Structure 1
Amino acid sequence: MVGILKTIYKSEEGKNKILSLYDKQLERLSIPYKDLFVDTSFGSTHIIETGNFDGVPLLVFHGGNATSAYNLLVCNFLLKNFHIYSVDTIGHPGRSAEVSLSPNNYEYGKWASEVITNLNYTKIACFAGSFGAGILAKTMCVAPEKIEKAVLYVPAGINNAPAINSVRMMYPMIMYWITHKQKWLEKCIMPMAVTKENIDKDIFETAKCSIDYAKIKAGMPSNVKGSDLRKCKASTLVLAGEYDCLFPAKRVIPRANKYITHCTTYLIKKRGHINVLTKSEKQMIIDFLL
């Protein structure tokens, strides 16, 4: 077993609160789903199988410190066309093993590769955002033959901004830990959201639950090597936010175009890391994956 075997939650009560929110969000999908568990050398991995069971198979990775349940609410535009396998990232809130992997090497990519194999696919299309897109980028490096198509949305792991860009979030985070006042959590999220309109009830509730009850993973997946990324010949769509403080388009798009062999890039104009895709942008993603 690779990784450190210790709880990722602050308490058993906290774990139950996170899983209770998880179940409530999952129920709101109002469509059939199955709970799958696959074994990997890193630990058991939980997957929600849902969507159109006759549709194109699509493996989906969520953002850091979030869950598949929340992610499926955000990605509900994919449910009609795709046979979704939504993965609970190992070592993050959810029902996968509480094994923390390093974001600074290719462990996450190796884990995801094993997930694909143990779902009985030789290759599969993938959609991932933020931290999850960093996982997908690492998978494209270590197991390029297993990627049918890839959509990387506001992705980590391509060309991350310097850590100093996140400093604005630290003071309000500390103040939230001290006071537990909602205004400080909102101020912590604002640099990623840019406008309050992008902080909806679901994202606020999910972030609050993780910050209150889980041991937050601050480190994002590190940038992959360009020479490794070139190994992946799958058609890839990269969507990056113009005002993203973590993975800005001005850094991500040029490096993606340079190192991803078959790459289409899209600038999410005047929006940050947390954003709302337009109807036409959602359709673009659907059309790309079909």
Structure 2
Amino acid sequence: MSVAIYRSEEGAAEVRQRYQEVLNDWPVPAEQVRVPTREGDTFVLVSGPPDAPPLVLLHGAGANASMWREDITTWAGHFRTYAVDIVGEPGLSAPSRPAVNSPAPARWLDDVVDGLGLTRVSMVAASFGGWLAVDYAVRRPDRVTRLALLCPGGLGKQRTIRVLRALLVRSFGRWGARRSVRALTGLNSPQDAPVLESLMLTFAHFKPRMEPLPLFSDAALRSLTIPVQVTVGDRDAMFDSRGTARRIRQCLPHAEVHMLPGTGHAVLGRTDSVLAFLRS
């Protein structure tokens, strides 16, 4: 379903211009590909050796492939990376939002994977992208070989009330927007300033998804026999990260689980940990 995902066309142009500046300064050689899908064209940033194992990257809601800028140099040295702009998010893919309580997201990913000429892939995915990756691995167990999940949705309960409270303060101008983004992401240190500013620009113009993500059943999680790494922050304002860790340990005793102290929803700087898992 195609929807209006920006508050104005001027705002959309400003977000796209900022994203294009990041793409123009991408730290490794990259091919920009548009894959036709049943949800519309999907933008994919492709890096790394053509003959290396394929690695699909799925960002979180309210983001795009620029999320992986600090990781890509390392990962693209070992994998053929496919940083996908999820449809309906502030990237360069179609403004379509397939219903999350349906097979539609997996069918969209089928089109992406097939359109890229891939058969079986590893995935690194964050937040909403993590939900998409788990959903795909559950529905298409023959297509996913390994999952590295950062603050994934669908495992621990979604903190809807906290999110709504944080969104309410956005109406208080720039101060409110900054406080809202900090509350939702947990980004508070000076080195987080560039990410914080980028998110503030995006959410000044972008209309985020508001529907809750379905929780995966224990049976669905237990069906995952592939290697899984899950990394969460113990101060996540959006998902019950302790519940996420508990369910993964119960349902997937073979999984690798990391609980990061003092960390919110934005789990950054995990480049080497994820690489070690992907290559293990």
Residues 145 and 232 in structure 1, CA contact (< 8 A), matched pair in contact too: no
Q: Calculate the aligned-residue CA RMSD, in Å.
A: 2.1
- Which structure 1 residue ranges, 4+ long, deviate > 6 Å from structure 2? none
Which residue of 1 is the match for residue 221 of structure 2?
229
Identify which range, 32-41 or 258-267, moves more after superposition.
258-267
Q: In structure 1, how many angstroms separate the alpha carbons of the residues matched to 2:67 and 2:224?
A: 26
Residue segments in structure 2 that go unaligned for 5+ positions in a row = none
Q: TM-score, normalised by structure 1?
A: 0.87
Do structure 1's residue 211 and structure 2's residue 203 form an aligned pair?
yes
Which residue of 2 is the match for residue 16 of structure 1?
13
- Return closer, same or farther for 1:74/1:247 CA change in 2, 3 Å cut-off: farther
Deviations 1:188-225 (A, max 9, x none): 12223445217724322332232222222233532122
Which residue of 1 is the match for residue 276 of structure 2?
287
Deviation of the 1:38 alpha carbon: 1.6
Deviation of the 1:232 alpha carbon: 2.6
Which residue identity is paired with 1:42?
E
Which residue of 1 is the match for residue 188 of structure 2?
196
Which residue of 1 is the match for residue 246 of structure 2?
254
Residues 232 and 267 in structure 2, CA contact (< 8 A), matched pair in contact too: no
Q: TM-score, normalised by structure 2?
A: 0.90
Identify which range, 221-230 or 242-251, moves more after superposition.
221-230
Match for residue 150 of structure 1 among 147, 152, 165: 147
Deviation of the 1:255 alpha carbon: 1.0
Identity among equivalent pairs (%)? 21
Deviation of the 1:261 alpha carbon: 6.6
Deviation of the 1:78 alpha carbon: 2.3
Residues 241 and 269 in structure 1, CA contact (< 8 A), matched pair in contact too: yes
Q: In structure 1, how many angstroms separate the alpha carbons of the residues matched to 2:272 and 2:208?
A: 33
Aligned residues: 278
Residue segments in structure 1 that go unaligned for 5+ positions in a row = none
Classify the secondary structure of the residue corresponding to 1:165.
helix
Deviations 1:166-204 (A, max 9, x none): 2431331232xxx3x2x2122112223445217724322
Which residue of 1 is the match for residue 156 of structure 2?
159
- Return closer, same or farther for 1:158/1:60 CA change in 2, 3 Å cut-off: same
Q: In structure 2, how many angstroms separate the alpha carbons of the residues matched to 1:273 and 1:44?
A: 29
Residues 58 and 124 in structure 1, CA contact (< 8 A), matched pair in contact too: yes
Classify the secondary structure of the residue corresponding to 1:189.
helix
- Return closer, same or farther for 1:37/1:195 CA change in 2, 3 Å cut-off: closer
Q: In structure 2, how many angstroms separate the alpha carbons of the residues matched to 1:53 and 1:198?
A: 37
Q: In structure 1, how many angstroms separate the alpha carbons of the residues matched to 2:156 and 2:128?
A: 13
- Return closer, same or farther for 1:191/1:6 CA change in 2, 3 Å cut-off: closer
Do structure 1's residue 71 and structure 2's residue 67 form an aligned pair?
yes
Which residue identity is paired with 1:218?
M
